[in-house]
Amino acid sequence: MFVITGRSGWQADNDTIFKDLGTQVLKSTLEGYKTCLFAHGQSQSGKTYTLVGQESDPGLLPRLLEALFQQDAVLSGQLAVSASFYEIKDEQVRDILKQDFYSPGGLKVSVEHVVRICQRLLDVAFIST
């Protein structure tokens, strides 16, 4: 397990974050490790911008996925890729890819539950930005 927290500095641009963090995630993924990006922080602190970005300045996820899908192992079908996208807000876990994402309900959790779940799912790499 390795954790990266704020190594790029609080004013780092998305390109720097990808170079510092994304390349390590990509390398681990291509080595066969399960990888996870976990953004935690206050509202309006830049989590979504860092992960998603915008068209003129893509965030970590678009850059990482673009780099991943340019790899020969993925293009040739030697490496299968699957992904899940979840939001944890107000102690509720929601699957972002579900059609009824904004409907009330969801799994009630605490921060301690999330950490235990992530550690159980990811036996090698846990990455926090």
Judge whether 107 lies within some domain: yes
Could you give the number of structural domains in the chain? 1
Instruction: Tell me if 5 is assigned to some domain.
Output: no
Q: Which amino acid would we find at residue 85?
A: F
Confirm whether 39 is domain-assigned. Answer: yes
Query: How does DSSP assign 109-123, residue by residue?
Result: --HHHHHHHHHHH-S
Q: Is residue 9 part of a domain?
A: no
Determine, yes or no, domain membership for 8.
Answer: no
Instruction: Report the first-to-last Cα separation within the chain, whole angstroms.
Output: 14
d(CA 51, CA 16): 13
pLDDT along the chain (129 residues), means of 10: 52 87 90 84 83 89 90 81 78 71 57 62 44
Q: Residue 49 has what pLDDT?
A: 86
What's the pLDDT score for residue 120?
56
pLDDT (0 to 100) of residue 123? 45
Range of the domain at 25: 14-128
Cα torsion for 115, 46, 54, 111, to the nearest 10°? 20
> Do the beta carbons of residue 21 and residue 4 sit within 8 Å?
yes
Stated pTM of the model: 0.67
> CA dist 87 to 15, 39, 54, 63, 90, Å?
24, 10, 19, 20, 10
**6 within some domain:** no
CATH at 91: 3.40.850.10
Using alpha carbons, select from 20, 22, 4 the residue that is nearest to residue 12: 20
